[in-house]
Amino acid sequence: MARLVKRVLIVGAAAVFALAALFASDSGNAVRAIAIGVAVLPLGLFIAVRRPRIIYCAMALELGAIPFADVPGVNFPLGLVLAVLVAITAVLQLPRTGVKLSALEWWCIALVVASTVSMIVTWTSSFDTIEYLKWFIATSMFFSLRRLSPVDLRAFGRWFVYGVSAAAVFGAALLAFDPAGKVLDSLAIIGYGSAGDNLRYVFSASGATVRLTGTFIDPNAGGLFLAIGFFLALALFRGFPRVALCVILLGALGLTLSRSALLSVGVAVLVYVAFRSGRFGHKLRGLGVFAALGAIALMIPAIQDRLLAALDPSDVGASARESALAQFPTQVAGHWLFGLGWGRIEFRDPTVGQEVNFVANSPLLTVYRGGLITGAIFTIILIIGIVRSFRALSQNRSQLTIVGAGFVGISLVALQLDFPVVTIYPVTMVFSVLLAFLPELVPLARRQEPMPVALPEKVGVTR
């Protein structure tokens, strides 16, 4: 009992300090948040101890369906609150024998330490603290999920797929019937909506095409959510549900017109077919299905123009990336060791971000914000994940090998062409989910164990 109380006090104190820092910029919100917290604390502790999977599944559903939602009545991210609850719940369920950390976890701890030092050294305002805490809570999701049992982790993944599939259907419906996003404005109570200014376009020779955004707000961020949901759907479902969910997710992914996400999926499938151990005939059939889907996608003019534009030297996006890479050394000059800082306005204001034109590459942007040490550790984490994924593919160890292939595709394509994983906390959080599901690191439950689709029986605290 003393050990349990100690865990509650330690995690609770950390959560209070983190949330208090985030609320520091708005005392009115802080008072309301504290009132809400006091009201729901008894129920939350009961659920954390007796029905922990409710919290896990709620977090997964929220992250997939409404990742940018706020707590109703309080201008504070709902995802961060749930992530803290998941961390508390995971700590309460730790065994007495202790926890053995993998090499990937140790490097993630090193990333947190280096990032903390960078933030302290470059600190100039409360914005640095707020942005750092958002990133810290989002990154800590990896450690929380690593503490789950295989069955609980499977349940988390399935509920995430349900959430992101629901968001995909909602986004497609908005695109078809309400492209201006006026329906999205009705969700202002949870922080969505921007007075009808929800449209995102891509311009090509055939004209302007509206991109799917929905509750993902940004089409490129949405592409990463949908891609990761697609990989988890392949790994965690079977039969008709698997086919239906994959069709929904791939269809929505195409509507985002996110080149980085589309190419990441393509690379992932090629890696899976080429390196996974298995019969050549099965590989050939899989490659044929993928080739057919790719041909169908390229028959859609908007997708065809979007992908082929990447090869055009006059493409606005490509030229902006080249310019950002060219000026990157000048921007970081004199700040190589600890970076330029965490709360910079270009990370918070899209207009300023376009004017600054910081580098659209996740490892380099980590250097831009946190310095060379932080960027090097982040790159090492990617390399470890890629190596483990290839090892699992060659040995065909679990159903999660497709997730490993997805990690390879996203690391080699999306993270080299875009930056939301670094600066947008929900995308950081979903990347933490991808890390937690890597094969070899977190093996799935055995096939004879039931795949939970509802809340489980009572789960007590290990004594």
Are 450 and 236 a contacting pair, CB within 8 Å?
no
Q: Which residues on adjacent β-strands are paired with residue 209?
A: 202
Is residue 122 in a domain? yes
Q: Nearest CA to 171 among 157, 192, 202?
A: 192
Q: Is-contact 219 261, C-beta < 8 A?
A: no
Asked whether the beta carbons of 434 and 421 are under 8 A apart, the reply is no
- In the block, tokens 């990157």 appear at 328
Tens place of pLDDT for every residue, the chain, 463 residues? 445 555 554 555 555 555 554 555 454 555 555 555 555 666 666 676 677 888 899 999 999 999 999 888 777 888 888 888 888 888 777 666 566 788 999 999 999 999 999 999 999 988 898 899 899 999 999 999 998 888 999 999 999 999 999 999 999 998 888 877 778 878 888 888 765 566 776 766 666 777 888 899 889 999 999 999 999 999 999 999 999 999 999 999 998 988 899 999 999 988 988 887 766 666 677 677 777 777 777 667 667 666 666 555 556 667 788 888 989 999 999 999 999 999 999 998 888 988 888 999 999 999 999 999 999 999 999 999 999 999 888 876 667 889 999 999 999 999 999 889 999 999 999 999 999 999 864 445 444 444 444 444 444 444 3
The Cα–Cα gap between 405 and 271 comes to 6
CA distances to 110, 337, 383, 384, 422 from 103, rounded to whole Å, are: 11, 24, 12, 8, 22
Residue 43 lies in a domain: no
* Strand partners of residue 202: 209
Q: Domains in the chain: how many in total? A: 1
| Assigned token pair, 413 | 């394509």
Cβ atoms within 10 A of the Cβ of 49, count? 16
How high is the pLDDT of residue 198?
A: 66
φ, ψ for residue 208 (rounded to 5)?
A: -90, 135
Longest Cα pair distance anywhere in the chain, in angstroms?
68
**457 found inside a domain:** no
Q: Is residue 16 part of a domain?
A: no
Q: What is the three-class DSSP state of 399?
A: coil
Is 14 within the bounds of a domain?
A: no
Place of tokens 């490129």: 220
Query: Is residue 79 included in any domain, yes or no?
Result: no
Q: What angle do CA 184, 189, 192 make, to 5 degrees?
A: 35
**Cα separation, 64 vs 160, whole angstroms:** 5
Instruction: Assess if residue 1 is contained within a domain.
Output: no
Chain centre distance of CA 178: 26
Instruction: Say which DSSP state 210 is in.
Output: E
Token pair 């918070």: residue: 348
Both tokens of residue 346? 């270009």
Residues 6+ apart with CB under 8 A from 117: 338
421 vs 365: CA distance, rounded Å: 10
Q: Is residue 368 part of a domain?
A: yes
Q: Which residues of 366-389 are buried (b: 16+ CB within 10 A; e: fewer)?
A: bbbbbbbbbbbbbbebbebbbebb
3-state secondary structure of 351: helix
Q: For residues 377 and 107, is the Cβ–Cβ distance under 8 A? A: yes
- Domain span at residue 125? 104-436
